[in-house]
Amino acid sequence: MPWQTLIERGERLPACADLAEGYAALLHRLGSVTPFELAVVGGRSMATPGLAFLVGYQAALRALWPSAPQSLGALCATEQRSLRPADMQTRLADLRLSGRKDFVTAGDAAEWLLVAARSEAPGEAPRLNLAVVHAGEPGVTLEKLPTLPFMPDISHGRMLLDGALCQLLPGDGWDVYVKPFRTLEDVYVLSAMTAWLYGLGQECGWSRPLQLRLLALLAGCAQTSRHNPSSAVAHVLLGGLFAQFKGLDAELDDALADGPAAWREMWGRDKAVMDIAAGARAKRLDKALGSSSI
């Protein structure tokens, strides 16, 4: 991570209503970067917390699948608000997918989609594969969903699959992809959102101790990103990072109260995204702390 790039002040990119176009502009500015650099330098460059979240999400996808295309992508696993393989109805047969996924981040802008699908024979325990499909291909339909109460600039969609031809990624869909992605998303979204706040602190002249604490949190994110996301150590370190982040709430509120109302209102609205996976994250932390490997 070129920390000097982060510590030096830089201009934010203007918000772009076309998410794919805005992301392409970011990549043009950054050039070749690692997933962590994408999350941090990219997140800091965004005009809103929602766009910073999207950059962190894209960084997590690239940590999961290093060969991912440069364009916007999404991981599609949730069905009926569940990630359990036994609850999934999307099926893979002869390299074709049929079913539906209920929540696709930036669904109307994503060009490629990683789809978790069941592939076991009748009577066998649920088994997942992860397949790649492309928006606009036969059998792939994306429907835009209503705007969420937070991050209104980031769209979400529903995907319908009807015999869509796909490409399979190697390895078990659950153990190699869906399960570790939950941790990767936490790490890289936290990195991007913290970087966004750090950049805002530079612009608004927040106190030096607060800026340094945000920078130290990013250093912890960098270290955690080096660990296997399925390891107990990664979950414990991530738990510590989120505890640090939560501990900054009051200080951030005070800093934002002394600055422009637009920033305060934006963060007050969008920070709720950081609590969406708190329950699942706490369960993983409890399990990791009880592990003999710690």
Predicted confidence (pLDDT) per residue in 262-272, tens digit: 999 999 999 99
Cα–Cα distance list, 197 to 188, 193, 210 (Å): 14, 6, 10
In the chain, the N- to C-terminal Cα span, in Å, equals: 27
Q: What are phi and psi of 190, to 5 degrees?
A: -60, -40
- The confidence band for 293, taking pLDDT boundaries of 50, 70 and 90, is low
Q: To the nearest whole percent, how much of the chain has pLDDT over 90?
A: 90
Domains of the chain: 3-64+176-289 (no CATH), 73-168 (2.40.110.10)
Mean pLDDT of the chain: 94
Q: Reply yes or no on whether the pLDDT at 5 is more than 80.
A: no
Q: Reply yes or no on whether the pLDDT at 48 is more than 60.
A: yes
Q: Tell me the per-residue pLDDT of 31-45, one tens digit each, with 9 for 90 and over.
A: 999 999 999 999 999
pLDDT at position 81: 87
- The confidence band for 291, taking pLDDT boundaries of 50, 70 and 90, is confident
Tell me the mean pLDDT in the region 139-153: 94
pLDDT at position 1: 55
- The confidence band for 231, taking pLDDT boundaries of 50, 70 and 90, is very high
Q: Reply yes or no on whether the pLDDT at 292 is more than 60.
A: no
Tell me the mean pLDDT in the region 204-227: 96
Tell me the mean pLDDT in the region 227-233: 95
Tell me the mean pLDDT in the region 270-293: 89
pLDDT at position 157: 93
CA–centroid distance for 282 within its chain: 18
Q: Reply yes or no on whether the pLDDT at 62 is more than 90.
A: yes
**What tokens appear for 94 in the block?**
């002869």
Q: Tell me the per-residue pLDDT of 161-199, one tens digit each, with 9 for 90 and over.
A: 999 999 999 999 999 999 999 999 999 999 999 999 999
Lowest mean per-residue pLDDT among 5-14, 140-149, 193-202, 281-290: 5-14
